[in-house]
Structure 1
């Protein structure tokens, strides 16, 4: 009888340890994947055209400023005080417009880049999720960011309640998290 119990215990231990070792972990460089996608190349082409358009607008303001500055310098001696002040004010306003447009252009560039990049990132993430699930991976680490690119939530245990307990954090009954769908 003791032999049967020992044999059963040994089989359970071996099966338990092999299932532990059977867990699959993967790694991926998401940045490398995204950069190599054809959509990213198209996005870069669009961004270059958008940047050129913004740069051309900045250049137009700069040309207008330089033209008016040269005009003021050339005719300064013949201008009345009020006209000279008006032209100086115009130049200051152009400088302000240039600085403002430059700032707005940077923001617009960043916004457009984020808009174009978001669906590319989503497509890459969907492919990573699909391959990870199909391959039976427990977790896939993203080497480009040092974070998890995928994890099988059903196989992981949420340790937050124990950590909160250890830290003495108590959730108020009304503030409890909504139930998962």
Structure 2
């Protein structure tokens, strides 16, 4: 019986110690959207991506313009068809149609390639910033002794956190360490 009481006391002690240790874990939250929105690096990356996207769009628009010019020229030639030049004109229009089909394929290929290039450029520009922010979040969390940090940014898919009571918001500390400007959104 004495062994049973000792075993029960030991189990109870371990259980209480475990609960006490869990109760001591601190939880914090961060809004990564707020951090990214206020980093100068993010703004520079967005500007660079916009410029790159516009360049790709201009390239596609040039192809479309060439296509439209050739199509219009073909339509104008078709209007000049007579019995005398019918055979030569049909041959010429057939060559124009083949050329237009090739241009159409080039336009579609350019669109696909542009989308891939833009996605690659976006990854190239934003991945280092994301890694830097993630590292700083981990650093601040360790400094503050936090066991868990929840990202409450809507873009991260964590908008399901509807209520936060307590917890420590480490967004300002991370922004400060990264040198991000603190700009309050209008109306908040």
Same fold by TM-score greater than 0.5: yes
Match of 1:95 in 2: 104
Match of 2:61 in 1: 59
Deviations 1:2-53 (A, max 9, x none): xxxxxxx9xx79x946544332111112232123211110001001110110
Q: Superposition pairs for residues 14-163 of structure 1, below 5 Å? A: 16=17, 19-76=21-78, 77-78=80-81, 80-144=89-153, 145=156, 146=158
5+ residue gaps in structure 1?
Answer: 1-8, 148-181
Question: Root-mean-square deviation (CA), in Å?
Answer: 2.5
Which secondary structure state, in structure 2, belongs to the residue aligned with residue 138 of structure 1? strand
Q: What is the TM-score when the length of structure 1 is the normalising length?
A: 0.69
5+ residue gaps in structure 2?
Answer: 1-9, 82-87, 160-188
Q: Superposition pairs for residues 159-174 of structure 1, below 5 Å? A: none
CA shift at 1:126, angstroms? 0.9
CA shift at 1:55, angstroms? 0.7
Match of 1:169 in 2: none
Q: Give me the whole-angstrom Cα distance separating, in 2, the residues matched to 1:20 and 1:62.
A: 64
**Corresponding pairs, count:** 138
Higher relative contact order (CA 8 A, sep 6+): 2
Q: What is the TM-score when the length of structure 2 is the normalising length?
A: 0.66
Which secondary structure state, in structure 2, belongs to the residue aligned with residue 80 of structure 1? helix
